Every structure is written in structure tokens, then in C-alpha cells.
Chain A
Amino acid sequence: MMKVIVNVFLKAGVLDSQGKAVHHALESLHFNNVSDVRIGKQIVLNLDESDETKAMADVTKMCEELLANTVIEDYNIELVK
């Protein structure tokens, strides 16, 4: 059993309207030291798998086929033991 965390974000260069709106809200609360906000989604998977290489390969395929739309999104994968 392995826990895998996938983070999906809009690509750099693709406008993140939610991030921008939250950034403005933080500024209006006088948090003036925030230079950028990006909002993404986190997908947590429990895999019946012990082979880390296989898990990484499988989850990469999941991201490419479904979990991310690579036209507009980037993803990263974290294996948690």
C-alpha cells in the first residue's frame, strides 16, 4: 500500500484567475509581502503497490491521460511511504 499525492497547477504563463483574486484579497488584508499566489488541486491516491518505480510510472500515465490536462496544466507527483 502506498500513498501518492498529485498536485495539478495551471502552467506558468497560463493566467490563474483564482490565484490572482486571492492575491488581491490578501493585499487588501494588508499582507503586502505576497508576491504571487497559484491555486491548484491536490489528488490523493492510495495504491496497492510496493514497487516505487512502477507506482511512479502508473501515476504519471494517470496524469497524462486523465488527472491533468497537459494543454493548460502541469503536475507533480509525490510518493508518501
Chain B
Amino acid sequence: MKVTILQFPGTNCEYDTQYAFEKLGAKTEILWHKSQSVPSDTDLLVVAGGFSYGDYLRSGAIAKFSPVMKAVAKYANSGGKVLGICNGFQVLTEAGLLPGALKRNESLHFISKHHHLKVIDNDNIFLEELSNGDVVNIPIAHHDGNYYIDQDGLKELYENNQVLLKYCDEDGDIKNPNGSIDAIAGICNRERNVFGLMPHPERAMEKILGSDDGLKMLQGFLKA
């Protein structure tokens, strides 16, 4: 199992992501954004979190034109598995690989804390190790995490079981930290090979640091 992790200028979660996947037993490689191709032995491509290009203009807006993104689109469109975490999710929506967009948090504040998430749909390689209705405790750290999609798009997401995770409280009741439509925290594309979420499972790998629920979330990829 080989995980390739994208690095743009301003990415800052690539080493946490590397630590997380190596802890799960994967081989990893960090790929600089100037690369024109995705390594051929890649089983999973992760667009890591951070502030690519300083979030200038909009989060992810400049990163989508990085040389590597053409290769990422090709990789995704040929069925390769792609996971975007936080800024990575923003990059994937800007690049059109995932539907919708991420707006400024409704409170206008940067939010950094642990938050519970509810598994809405586990019929995909990302969440198949979890059950629908399971609650996990995962850190969030974002300013632009307010997921938006128009009503037609939202209907389509539900019809195709693309809504994967929602924000909730510890009992699993919906609780919305950032104004996301229907409290959506994570989605996938229609083909179920491109995933995006604002929370950081790679920061929840050790009980001593608050939670190791990220292990359960990421290990689905290792089995695939």
C-alpha cells in the first residue's frame, strides 16, 4: 500500500498525514506540486491540509492550477482513489473534482477544536470500517469550512449517497459548528473514488492527544 501526499507551497499537514498512514502500515511519499505526474505505484493520493498559496483569492483557488493538478485529475478520472483533507477538500472542490464549495465559517471565526462527526454513509472504501450512525471525535481547524451547494446539487448528493459525514454532538445529534448546509462535514464524488472532508482524521491518531478515532477512519483505505 502506497500513499502519495501532495505538497503545495503553504501545505502544513503533509507530515502529520505521513505519520498517520505510516502508523497504519502504509508506505508514503510526499509529492511536490511541480510534479507533472502521480507515481505509478500510488494506491491513494492525499491532498493534505494547510494554506496552499496562503489561501490567496479563495482557499484552494490558486492550487488548482499547480502543474500536478492535471495529473491528479487524470488519476481521479481513471478511478484512482483521492482523499482531500481540509485545504485538500477546498482544492478538490475548486478543481471541480468534488461538487460544491467551502465558504467562510458562518461565525467568521477560525475554529480549532475537537468535534464529533456522525457517519451517514459507509458504503465506500473510506468509511467501510465504520457503521452508519457511528460517532467519531476528530479535530477541526478551519476558517473556510462552511460547505455550500445549491438545492439541486444537495438533492443529487443525497440521491447518490455522497453525503458521508455530518457534524454532531457526542450523542450523534446534529450540531453545526460552521454553518455548513445540512451540517455536512464530508462528501464523495458520484463514482465514490474521490473523498473530501474538513475535519482532520490524521490529527486523531493517539489517545494521549485527545482521540485516536482517526485510525478507524483511515484504515479503510489500507484494506482496499
Interface residues, chain A, with chain B CB atoms under 8 Å away: 10, 14-15, 17-18, 21, 66-67, 69, 71-72
Q: For residue A66, which residues in chain B have a CB less than 8 angstroms away from its CB? A: 57, 61, 65
Separation in Å of the B101 CB from the closest CB of chain A?
4
Known: A71-B101, A72-B148. A17 touches B57 (CB 8 A): no
Separation in Å of the A60 CB from the closest CB of chain B?
17
Q: For residue A10, which residues in chain B have a CB less than 8 angstroms away from its CB? A: 103
Q: Is the CB of B57 within 8 A of A71?
A: no
Separation in Å of the B96 CB from the closest CB of chain A?
9
Q: Which of B57, B94, B146 contacts A67 (CB 8 A)?
A: B57
Q: Is the CB of B179 within 8 A of A15?
A: yes
The SS class assigned to the B binding surface is: loop
Q: Is the CB of B108 within 8 A of A72?
A: no
Interface residues, chain B, with chain A CB atoms under 8 Å away: 57-58, 61, 65, 93-94, 100-101, 103-108, 146, 148-150, 179
Q: Taking each of B65, B104, B105, B107, which has the highest tally of chain A beta carbons within 10 Å of its own beta carbon?
A: B104
The SS class assigned to the A binding surface is: mixed
Q: Which of B58, B61, B65, B105 contacts A17 (CB 8 A)?
A: B105
**Taking CB as reference atom, which chain B residue is nearest A70?**
B101
Q: Is the CB of B58 within 8 A of A69?
A: yes
Given contacts A10-B103, A17-B179, A71-B149, 12 further A-B contacts (CB under 8 A): A15-B106, A17-B103, A17-B104, A17-B108, A18-B104, A21-B108, A66-B57, A67-B57, A69-B94, A69-B101, A71-B148, A72-B148
